[in-house]
Chain A
């Protein structure tokens, strides 16, 4: 103990203050002390000895209160989980004596090792997704969509899947910190409460004037109620909201079109023609899950319902990837094109718009044909506009949708509740102006990271210095926290009660799964204190608010329990509003909007867009950083995306560092030459190059270089979403990029071969061809053929000896008495969104390997999405092929394993016996699909570092954590299959089709993946495999995969479709 020289509450640490970081000097081998990780290990830790009290006060001032409390049973169960996982963790003293205490009686409803699922909600940018969170022994381990949620349903996005990793992020802030004379001082939670109360007390004197609250976008009814409470008591309190990726332009556009702000809802399931103008319907969109589901409903060539998607966009979006027709144009040209469309629809002269782009043949035909198609499908079309487009463009689209009688049919509007709220950007501008004037006495920042992501011209950090007292509630001690007087560590959404609305307005409850790991406070808690409440507990206030919204009595326990179970309030979404379009004056086209598709250097357009880190908030989330971008297949970096022709004219090459100058600012960033990127337009993904994200996303204090480049450096309030006048200058030096797939710039020999193979690996065909194929006796033509014909074609690829049957096996056929698992993947529905990949990572304890190892081609994802291009690189067609283990019937991997570590199960799976594997890797060589992943190093080594121990709590106990030297691969979530089988057997029932869902299938927003029993002729998967468009990948190899791909059926407009080459295979 003598080595501890710490002051009572003001221990000096240089801005880093995670407990484990700062307690290196702790004594070794002292059995009475708690572990150095801020976790409990033994009951002895909790003994109320005077030494311990003293130790507590010195070592864990922020937890003193809580530690002295008698232990609640609930807390104890949670701690037990942690204790087991952490047993044996200590600094240096291996044989430290520890005591653990068993539960003398099992708590109600708790069965060790049995997973429980709770409803919760994930909020991003003010829109919620309903979740079901799987908890194992008191720790959440997996996130899934809440199938009962009326809007978001049972699927989930990659970001939502990965958000659970954030909770266990060891880099999360673990303490309150106050800033004094440029130094961060660890403070207690008590101090934090006092600081918030001080804000309140100061503001009270002026009836709130001078107190400002800057919040990230939230749709929480509880927060709204607390805000009202605060503003009722102190009317001068100003509330601001800011999101760097905002959907406010749409809101303002509807204000222009209808007089008051409205939210636009697209009902893609009802649409036959979807025209996306720079809109990302399936990716970064608050309604992405719903859009995906509806899109898939409308894209079912087997029932005959097949929508048609047109995408007009600058950078590839998921929408563009699945579109039947795509027109790459600069984002600023969306407005003239939309005006042209309006002219074409109303019988006017397209040329009257006065934009050169409309005179270009491709764009002209595209717009006129689109107009014809939309006109043909009145009331069954959608004209969607992307959130980065200015308000005016949204207003024009609303006008077009009205003209097309799409209103109330495929395009719905709901009134925004907070009609008075200014645009996020304007709101932030006015706040910064007030801050600069010195009139802000107190500033409470809830979430967000404006010091990092505010437009550079606002100089948020500079303005912050003029605020007398600033408090930042944040999960990370980030760029903003560095400059505020107080940093309060925030609880993760899985650690606190809360609520938010999904995009349609359904009130969704967020339940905590564990007590805060690092004792963080929630936004609701902080606002409660600010409102004058005594404590920051948040269940009561959430309960009060939500029961009020639901119209139930506060005392109605049944209603509350129902809410806890369901996770949402049914019918709480507002009804669509009747809107009447009104006249508005459109601004004239700018000079650059009149220029056609090519632009000279110096006038180039830059477009800011979301990335794997969303807006930068997930920059420390290794799952997301290592997930390859759907288009570039780039991991661990962002890059300036430049089209091939533009790159050539600029003289920059792929992987070259280039200087991009916009106005005053210049950014050095690596160039990624991206097929399909619009000429003259450069896409800049936001959210990288953080200086205070953590050990993964870069941190100045830990001397960890940030991955990627901070593109916010070029973002100003006048060029917030996109702007022109950019200059690109190559530097000639190269930067290493970790791409998981070779990009198109390959030697000619290889590129030609890829072209040849893509057509056999990814079957595509038009709806017309497919309908022909469905006729009896048809074999199909071109790329779309029946399964048997496909096999014939495949056989020709390997040209067997004339008259000799190739599909004969040396070995006996497998016999199946029970189940016979199979899968189908519909390529027509795959948007490439990566949700499956991240869900698989979470379910199967798949490690992250880091940029260097991705460059070494050792990424571990069990399901990868291969992305191929066809045609002209400047305007290509893109296709996805999600590949995981195909569970071959005659698996080539099985026969070559010398120790039989991979073998065929009685139900047709290719099992992996990890503890039998010696790692010869022969199986990986012999797998034609290349789905096997080898642990070349001990990828989980990081778990053993004391500060990262918390990460191991996330592991799924049903899946082995693989050691070094072992081969692994997809097993179709065999643990889920077994769990269901056990349950069915115990209850003497049959397994229902669709009951077992693999993690990838469950997450897939378009439900392109189906899993089931092929022995059951009624199962969806059996029926899918019998479809004429079903085919096996590399069928000629006679591996008989148990997964069937369903050919991608497109629905091109014949007037636009290029003459299809009919190749003879």
Chain B
């Protein structure tokens, strides 16, 4: 191979790399955000305001502003918690699991997915705290040494939850930030503003891009990925224990951990698509987040959706096969009882809707994809609603059966949490590199231009 050839390839690669840096950094560096950003941000902040006002009323009035009651001691807030934790699964899965499995296509979506994970976990973390009757004492769930020598009760899944979610949150943030370091350095090096230079300078932790740094970085990233991988499976497994450990028919089942994890990946990917398909159009990223990426994610949704559907079937089969009267009724009641509408919404959105992704035509139509993904998340919200609320409404004692109705505040806090999520996500899109530039570069064929296969 001639050196001219090599230099031409290298030139081409340099152009390509520069193109990536330009398009990704360009968003951050641009004086003005795309037209749609500001109204979207205003709307998100507005919804966050709704959340803040609702939380103020919640803290002054008490949990009684919700529809929760003595029969349905848990309702929307816990549904929302599980919903957001579920969404917060895609990021780490894409970053860590797919990294370990050498799925290179992950590089263009992992950054945004990780950010989404963190924001979703923030939203999720909000709910268990505000859900307690005395949130100002919620820190008692933490194992803080105290002079009364009182510890949390380690037999309670809620205590496990605290550890699982906080560990997941910590590792996700570390992993995300670690990935950001080289890109922050790129931003630092490109910016002309002194202030930005300082800020990105601090954030990039003195990254110089030396071979030694890259070497250590790659090792550390691999270790982090290995650490984060079990967490992807443990968090939602532990969340599922909240229910599986309980005695309640409809909760008390061993299938929950895998079923919850599959559901979480399902909803997480749906959320990633919901966010990234419009984002790549708005920020002109179609050459980085290609149709192939979108298609791959659609396939993941199809696969996990089918797993979830299989889990629903298994649950039913076991409820019948076990012969347990209480469990049998709970499942019949889900299908045909007063909350049948919620159950069939769930089945439609989670089992039937993903089946459309068998068709390539649909996997390549952005509008339909976003529509279907939103429906998937509606379905996943209802899945948690069906599990939590429907089981509680009709448990062992018929004298305590009750029909659950939510209140305005149930809705306002849920909608408000979306406000918080989108506020954070829009800030991320505007001020941080939404695509892992160095990883995309590394994964591109140009990176291997000099190393021809002989």
What residues make up the interface of A, taking CB atoms closer than 8 Å to B? 741-742, 747, 749-750, 753-754, 756-758, 761, 796-799, 853, 856-859, 864, 866-868, 881, 883, 892, 895-900, 916-922, 924-926, 928-930, 932-938, 963-967, 1034, 1037
Q: Are A920 and B70 in contact (CB under 8 A)?
A: no
A-B contact pairs, 27 of them (CB 8 A): A742-B402, A747-B338, A750-B337, A756-B325, A757-B396, A799-B323, A853-B64, A858-B69, A859-B70, A881-B399, A898-B158, A899-B140, A899-B141, A900-B150, A900-B151, A900-B153, A917-B134, A918-B132, A918-B141, A920-B132, A930-B71, A936-B63, A936-B68, A937-B64, A964-B133, A965-B134, A1034-B396
Question: Residue B245 at the A interface, CB < 8 A?
Answer: yes
Roughly how many angstroms separate A1034 CA and B135 CA in the complex, as a whole number? 34
Q: Does B363 touch A at the CB level, under 8 Å?
A: no
Chain B residue with Cβ nearest A926: B246
B331-342 interface bits toward A, Cβ cutoff 8 Å, 1 = contact, 0 = none: 011001110000
* Separation of A712 and B242 alpha carbons in the complex (Å): 54
Bound form: Cα–Cα A930–B394 in Å: 11
A1037 to B247, CA, bound (A): 8
CB-CB contacts of B315-331 with A at 8 A, as 1s and 0s?
00000001111110100
A937 CA / B400 CA spacing, docked (Å): 20
Min Cβ gap B152→A in Å is 5
- Out of A742, A929, A934, A935, which one reaches B73, CB within 8 Å? A934
B398 touches A920 (CB 8 A): no
In the complex the two chains form, is B398's CB within 8 Å of A966's CB? no
Q: Which residues of A contact B399 (CB under 8 A)?
A: 741, 864, 866-868, 881, 883, 930
> Which among B73, B134, B157, B401 has the highest number of chain A CB atoms within 10 Å?
B73
A892 to B249 Cα, complex, angstroms: 13
What 14 additional pairs, Cβ within 8 angstroms, besides A900-B151, A934-B68? A747-B338, A761-B397, A797-B325, A856-B67, A896-B245, A897-B156, A898-B152, A898-B153, A917-B134, A918-B137, A919-B133, A925-B246, A926-B248, A930-B397
B326 touches A797 (CB 8 A): yes
By a CB distance below 8 angstroms, the chain A residues around B134 are 917-919, 963-966
Chain A residues with Cβ below 8 Å from B67 are 856
Looking at the assembled complex, report how far the CB atom of B67 sits from the nearest CB atom of chain A, in whole angstroms.
7
Contacting pair B324 A929 (CB below 8 A): no
The answer to whether A754 and B63 touch (CB under 8 A), given A898-B152, A965-B134, is no
Shortest Cβ distance from residue A1032 to the other chain B in the assembled complex, whole angstroms: 13
A930 touches B70 (CB 8 A): yes
Task: Determine whether the beta carbon of B336 is less than 8 Å from that of A749.
Answer: yes
With a cutoff of 8 Å between Cβ atoms, the chain A residues found around residue B74 in the complex are: 921-922, 925
CB-based nearest A residue for B330: A753
Q: Which residues of A contact B68 (CB under 8 A)?
A: 921, 934, 936
A373 to chain B minimum Cβ distance, whole angstroms, is 33
Tell me whether B159 is interfacial, beta carbon within 8 Å: yes
A749 x B153 contact (CB < 8 A)? no
* Chain A hits for B398, CB < 8 A: 742, 750, 753-754, 757-758, 761, 866, 868
Chain B proximity of A566: nearest CB distance (Å): 42
Give chain B residues whose Cβ lies under 8 Å from the Cβ of A966: 133-134
CB distance from B247 to the nearest CB of A (A): 5
How far, in angstroms, from A928 to B152 measured CA to CA in the complex? 24
Q: Which residues of A contact B325 (CB under 8 A)?
A: 756, 797-798
Task: Tell whether, in the assembled complex, residue A965 and residue B397 are in contact, meaning their CB atoms are under 8 Å apart.
Answer: no
What 0/1 pattern do residues 227 to 246 of B give for CB contact below 8 A with A? 00000000000000010011
The answer on a CB contact under 8 Å between A898 and B156 is yes
A-B interface, 9 closest residue pairs, ranked by CB to CB distance from nearest = A919-B133, A965-B133, A866-B399, A936-B64, A799-B323, A937-B64, A921-B73, A898-B158, A857-B69
Name B375-416 residues within 8 Å CB distance of A: 392, 394-402
Asked, given contacts A798-B325, A921-B73, A924-B70, whether A965 binds B153 with beta carbons under 8 Å apart, the answer is no
B441 within 8 A of A: no
Secondary structure at chain B's binding surface: helix, strand, loop or mixed? loop
B63 contacts across to A, CB distance below 8 A: 919, 934, 936-937, 965
Minimum Cβ distance to chain B for residue A512 (Å): 39
List chain A residues, Cβ under 8 A from B282.
Answer: none
Q: How far is the CA of A919 from the CA of B158 in the complex (A)?
A: 12
Q: How far is the CA of A859 from the CA of B242 in the complex (A)?
A: 26
User: Shortest distance in angstroms between B390's beta carbon and chain A's nearest beta carbon?
Assistant: 12
- What distance in Å separates the Cβ of A831 from its nearest Cβ neighbour in chain B? 17
Known: A868-B398, A930-B397. Is A895-B155 also a contact (CB below 8 A)?
yes
CA distance in complex: A916, B336 (Å): 41
Residues of A with C-beta under 8 A to B226: none
A756 nearest CB neighbor, chain B only = B325
Residues of chain A within 8 A of B396, CB atoms compared: 757, 928-930, 1034, 1037
- Would you call B116 an interface residue if the criterion is a C-beta within 8 Å of the partner chain's C-beta atoms? no
- Whether B69 pairs with A896 at a CB distance below 8 angstroms is no
Contact A936/B324 with A898-B141, A898-B159 known, Cβ cut-off 8 Å: no
B33 at the interface (CB under 8 A from A): no
CB of B62 within 8 Å of the partner chain: yes
Q: Which residues of B contact A937 (CB under 8 A)?
A: 61-64
**Chain A residue contacts of B397, Cβ below 8 A:** 761, 866, 883, 928-930
Distance A867 CA – B399 CA, assembled complex (angstroms)? 7
A920 to B152, CA, bound (A): 13
Q: How far is the CA of A853 from the CA of B64 in the complex (A)?
A: 9
Contact among B155, B327, B329 for A753, CB-based, below 8 A: B329
- Smallest Cβ-Cβ distance to B139: which chain A residue: A918
Whether B138 is near chain A, meaning CB under 8 Å from some CB there, is yes
Bound-state CA distance A117–B33 (Å) is 79
Are A920 and B62 closer than 8 Å at their CB atoms? no
CB of B50 within 8 Å of the partner chain: no
Residues of A contacting B323 in the complex (Cβ-Cβ under 8 angstroms): 796, 798-799
How far does the Cβ of B213 sit from chain A's closest Cβ, in whole Å?
Answer: 43
CB distance from A437 to the nearest CB of B (A): 57
B373 within 8 A of A: no
The 8 A CB mask of B25-44 against A (1 = contact, 0 = none) is: 00000000000000000000
What CA separation (Å) do A933 and B71 show in the bound complex? 9
B324 touches A797 (CB 8 A): yes
B297 within 8 A of A: no
Q: Is B106 an interface residue (CB 8 A)?
A: no
The verdict on B294 contacting chain A, using a C-beta distance below 8 Å, is no
Contact A925 B248 (CB under 8 A): yes
CB neighbours of B82 from chain A (8 A): none
B111 proximal to A (CB < 8 A): no
Q: Name the interface residues of B110-160: CB closer than 8 Å to any CB of A.
A: 128, 131-135, 137-138, 140-141, 150-153, 155-159
Q: In whole angstroms, what is the CA distance A742 to B400 when docked?
A: 8
Q: Does B347 contact A (CB under 8 A)?
A: no
Residue picked from B63, B64, B242, B329, most chain A C-beta under 10 Å: B64
B153 contacts which of A761, A859, A867, A897 (Cβ < 8 Å)? A897
Residues of chain A within 8 A (CB-CB) of B322 are 798-799
Query: Does A917 contact B133, Cβ atoms closer than 8 Å?
Result: yes
Q: B132 touching A919 by the CB < 8 A rule? A: yes
Q: Considering only CB atoms, which chain B residue lies closest to A923 in the complex?
A: B73
A965/B248 in contact, CB under 8 A = no
Check: B435 CB closer than 8 A to any chain A CB: no
Q: Closest Cβ of chain B: how far from A383's Cβ, in Å? A: 35
Q: Which of B61, B64, B69, B152 contacts A899 (CB 8 A)?
A: B152
Say if the beta carbon of B162 comes within 8 Å of chain A: yes
Rounded to whole Å, the gap between the CB of A1017 and the closest CB of chain B is 32
Whether A920 and B131, one on each chain, are in contact in the complex, defined by CB atoms closer than 8 angstroms, is: yes
Closest to A966 in B: B133
Q: Does B155 lie within 8 Å of A749, measured CB to CB?
A: no
Provide the residues of chain B in CB contact with A929, threshold 8 Å.
396-397
Contacts of B392 in A (CB 8 A): 925
> Which residues of A sit under 8 angstroms from B337, Cβ to Cβ?
747, 749-750
- A921-B158 Cα distance, complex, nearest whole Å: 11
Can you name the residue of chain B whose Cβ is closest to the Cβ of A761?
B397
Neighbouring A residues of B152 by C-beta, 8 Å: 898-900
B71 touches A895 (CB 8 A): no
Q: Which residues of B contact A742 (CB under 8 A)?
A: 398, 401-402
Contact of A926 among B128, B133, B247 (CB under 8 A): B247
